[in-house]
Structure 1
Amino acid sequence: MQDGAAPHTARRVLTWLTDHFEGRVISRFTEKTWASHSPNLNPLDFFLWGHLKDQMSGEQFQTLNDLKSLVERLISAVTPEQYEDTIQHFLLRMRRCVQRDGGHIEQLL
């Protein structure tokens, strides 16, 4: 699933995704379209990316490998409790989404 962010909708990116995922790409510019105001239900979006961003704040990287190593270490450091909290929050988001008939849910969380 790709939202409408420019890096996700570039022709080169969509071509690569389409070539590798054979019709399973959900995006603004593919056969299966992404709803422009869909609720944020993906745990990577509502937890992991923000968590990593917070942990990496102020870090400087000399190489791409340095960045990759830090991301790997930070992901490995996510605790079982954080995973459990994320699962519980995901379930709450799903319930709210059903209650709102697929509408916005952020204001309810």
Structure 2
Amino acid sequence: MSKRITPFASRYCSTLDRLKEDIRRKRPGLLRWGVVLQHDNATPHSADLTQQWLQRYGWEILPHPAHSPDLVPSDFHLFGPLKRHLGGMAFETEDDLISESRNWFDNLDVDFFRVGINSLLSRWQKCIDLHGDYVEK
């Protein structure tokens, strides 16, 4: 068994299938121009199955320095506000936590996500200027 095969790679490829279909449906023609995907070096992302999927559809991966949470929108833009929202709350069950988290996500304005994605350009430039070193705000 290859070290690069994980039980999560199949699930990640299914997520990519849904993403591809959503792009095709919501942004007709965009797939023709090519897709550049940013994901980190997590095992499901680097698994052989995932790499085969990306190669099959010609999706390019934006290089990502190892251990760079400063370049992952979920780390620098999403988890802090979510943590502040959930701070001080007590949950009886894991399902209660999941429900509250989903409610928070459902009520976010599209601009919240736009700001996070748009800040990537300046973060990448800082990373380049620092020769791959960690980028603070």
Q: Structure 1 length as normaliser, TM-score? A: 0.64
Q: 2:77 aligns with which of 47, 55, 63?
A: 47
1:18 aligns with 2:48: no
Deviation for aligned residue 1:96: 1.0
1:59 aligns with 2:47: no
Q: Which residue of 1 aligns with 2:108?
A: 78
1:97 aligns with 2:96: no
Cα-to-partner distance string for 1:51-72 (whole Å, 9 max, x where unaligned)? 1100111111111111110010
Structure 2, unpaired ranges of 5+: 11-41, 45-64
CA distance in 2, matches of 1:103, 1:39: 11
Contact 1:39 1:103 in 2 (8 A): no
Cα 1:39–1:72, aligned 2, differ >3 Å: closer, same or farther? closer
Alignment RMSD (CA, Å): 2.7
Cα-to-partner distance string for 1:5-53 (whole Å, 9 max, x where unaligned)? xxxxxxxxxx9x823328x718xxxxxxx845x4620000001111110
SS in 2 for 1:78: coil
CA distance in 2, matches of 1:95, 1:49: 22
Moved over 4 A (4+): none
Count matched residues: 84
CA distance in 2, matches of 1:45, 1:39: 6
Structure 1, unpaired ranges of 5+: 1-14, 27-33
Identity %: 29
Q: Which has the higher relative contact order, 1 or 2, with Cα contacts under 8 A spaced 6 or more apart?
A: 1
